[in-house]
Every structure is written in structure tokens, then in C-alpha cells.
């Protein structure tokens, strides 16, 4: 899943990006508020982590403009300003959660996972679809209680589809959320990746909808 990280402190930005990538996310970074607003307005993201003290355009204005323009991806606000009135202002502007600096990286990742789950109507960190169970905390897929050995890229594919179970996801959307510097951009890259995952699964978890994309149905039974 692709995350937009907006932070003007280069050290914090690098540390957060490293932690998110280790947790299985694809991260795009920005330090300028005006550029961040444009990226969030024109690209697809699973969530954004947004600092309030930004050059160009402050984070609160960025958030208000995203929401005014109908951009509804979840946003986790970061700020060194931790007064209750500022927190209320951020939540009222459309933030899904608020984390004051300094923070522990483990808490940031946990909060991010939580707002992404909630945005998909999934409160539990365990996503169960038929015989398959996805543990978003451990980044692990199990079928019939047996862990499936997936590469990070394969895990991101399965996680994105399971977190959006019941909805057809296009190849373009999957490509956007799986894209990284190591991801192959050939036209059939998603098709090849889905094929690799299917060969590792003992159940028919991922269905193809010709001309539309892929879907994980609510009932994935043994194949």
C-alpha cells in the first residue's frame, strides 16, 4: 500500500520512511506543503502522514483543501505542537488520528495500520476471508492455520486485496499501491505477480474479473 509522507525535517522523514518500508508499505516523501497538496490531490494513496509545520503551505491548510476537494484517504497528523486546542483543530479539519512529537516509531506504524483498517471498515487487525487469515501486525498470511511464505511484494498484493475484499481492484490501482523502486513496470507485471501468489495458495483466494481487475470474495474456499 502506498503512503504519502509529508515531513520537512529530513532526519524524521528518513527514519519514518525506513520504518514504513520495513512494515511493508510503499512510501512517497514530500517536504513542501504546496507540493504535498498537489500529490494528494492527483495521486492515489492508502493513507497520508502529515506534519503541520510545513513550508509553502501549512499542514492544516493542506488537510482542509484535501477534504474540501473530496480526498477521503485517512490522514495521520504529526506535529511538535501538542496543545489540546490544536489537536481539536486538526481532527475538525479531517484528520483521522493525531500523534505529537516526539513519538515512538512502533506507535506510529500501529496507528497508521489502524486508520487504514478503519477506512476499509475493518477494525480488527486480523482480516479473515474464508479459510485465509491476514495478520496485519505480523505481516503474515495463513491458510488453514498454516503460514504462507510470501515475498514483501506478494504480501502487499494480498493485503491490499483482502483489506478491500468484496471490491474489484483494477490493475492500475494495484500498480500504484505496489510501486516501488524495485517494482517492474512492464504491462503484465501485476498479472505475473498474481500468478506467483496463486501458485503458493491452496485456495482460490484471488478471482480475475476480465476487463476490470481482481477481487477477493468474502468466501475463499479450498480449491
* CA atoms within 13 A of residue 188's CA, in its CB half-sphere: 3
In a shared domain, residues 47 and 133: no
**Residue 176 belongs to a domain:** yes
- Domain end call among 84, 99, 119: 119
In a shared domain, residues 138 and 90: no
In a shared domain, residues 145 and 61: no
As a whole number of angstroms, the distance between CA 30 and CA 7 comes to: 6
In a shared domain, residues 103 and 10: yes
State the pLDDT confidence band at 223, using cuts at 50, 70 and 90.
very low
Summarised one tens digit per residue, pLDDT across range 32-69 is 999 999 999 998 899 999 998 899 899 999 999 999 99
Identify the CA nearest to 49 among candidates 99, 92, 114. Answer: 99
Q: What mean pLDDT is predicted for residues 132-144?
A: 91
In a shared domain, residues 102 and 58: yes
For residue 222 the three cell numbers come to 479450498
In a shared domain, residues 29 and 137: no
**Residue 221 belongs to a domain:** no
**Residue 179 belongs to a domain:** yes
Q: What mean pLDDT is predicted for residues 217-222?
A: 60
In a shared domain, residues 48 and 67: yes
Res 180: pLDDT: 58
Summarised one tens digit per residue, pLDDT across range 11-36 is 999 999 999 999 889 899 999 999 99
Instruction: Find the helix or strand (DSSP H, E) in which 214 lies.
Output: strand 213-216
Go through the chain and tell me how many residues it has.
Answer: 223
* CA atoms within 13 A of residue 87's CA, in its CB half-sphere: 9
Write the CATH number for 31.
3.40.50.2300
For residue 42 the three cell numbers come to 492527483
**Residue 67 belongs to a domain:** yes
In a shared domain, residues 97 and 136: no
Q: What mean pLDDT is predicted for residues 107-120?
A: 90
**Residue 222 belongs to a domain:** no
In a shared domain, residues 154 and 212: yes
In a shared domain, residues 154 and 200: yes
Helix (H, G, I), strand (E, B) or coil at 150: coil
Percent residues over pLDDT 70 in the chain: 91
Res 12: pLDDT: 95
Look-up of cell digits 509529508: 6
**Residue 223 belongs to a domain:** no
**Residue 187 belongs to a domain:** yes
As a whole number of angstroms, the distance between CA 186 and CA 156 comes to: 18
Phi and psi torsions of 172, nearest 5° = -65, -45
In a shared domain, residues 211 and 144: yes
Q: What mean pLDDT is predicted for residues 194-209?
A: 93
Contacts of 24 (CB under 8 A, 6+ apart): 1, 139, 152, 155, 156, 159
Task: Tell if the pTM clears 0.85, that is, is over it.
Answer: no
Write the CATH number for 207.
1.10.10.10
DSSP string, 62-108: HHHHHHHTT--S-EEEEES---HHHHHHHHHHT-SEEEESS--HHHH
Q: What domain range includes position 96?
A: 2-119
- Domain end call among 84, 119, 154: 119
Among 85-99, 137-151, 172-186, 208-222, top mean pLDDT goes to 137-151
- How many domains is the chain built from? 2
In a shared domain, residues 152 and 89: no
Identify the CA nearest to 190 among candidates 219, 214, 221. Answer: 214
Do 214 and 204 meet the contact criterion of CB atoms below 8 Å apart? no
Amino acid at each position: 500500500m502506498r503512503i504519502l509522507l509529508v515531513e520537512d525535517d529530513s532526519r524524521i522523514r528518513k527514519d519514518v520512511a525506513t520504518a514504513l518500508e520495513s512494515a511493508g508499505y510503499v512510501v512517497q516523501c514530500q517536504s513542501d506543503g504546496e507540493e504535498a497538496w498537489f500529490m494528494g490531490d492527483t495521486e492515489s494513496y492508502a493513507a497520508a502522514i502529515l506534519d503541520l509545520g510545513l513550508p509553502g503551505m501549512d499542514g492544516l491548510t493542506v488537510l482542509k483543501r484535501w477534504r474540501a476537494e473530496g480526498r477521503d484517504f485517512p490522514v495521520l497528523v504529526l506535529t511538535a505542537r501538542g496543545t489540546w486546542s490544536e489537536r481539536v483543530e486538526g481532527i475538525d479539519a479531517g484528520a483521522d488520528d493525531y500523534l505529537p512529537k516526539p513519538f515512538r516509531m512502533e506507535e506510529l506504524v500501529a496507528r497508521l495500520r489502524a486508520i487504514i483498517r478503519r477506512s476499509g471498515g475493518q477494525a480488527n487487525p486480523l482480516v479473515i476471508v474464508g479459510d485465509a487469515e491476514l495478520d496485519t501486525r505480523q505481516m503474515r498470511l495463513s491458510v488453514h492455520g498454516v503460514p504462507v511464505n510470501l515475498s514483501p511484494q506478494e504480501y502487499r498484493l494480498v493485503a491490499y486485496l483482502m483489506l478491500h475484499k468484496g471490491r474489484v481492484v483494477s490493475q492500475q490501482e494495484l500498480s500504484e499501491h505496489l510501486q516501488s523502486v524495485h517494482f517492474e513496470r512492464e504491462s503484465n507485471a501485476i498479472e505475473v505477480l498474481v500468478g506467483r501468489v496463486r501458485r503458493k495458495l491452496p485456495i482460490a483466494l484471488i478471482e480475475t474479473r476480465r476487463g476490470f481487475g481482481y477481487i477477493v470474495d468474502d468466501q475463499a474456499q479450498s480449491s
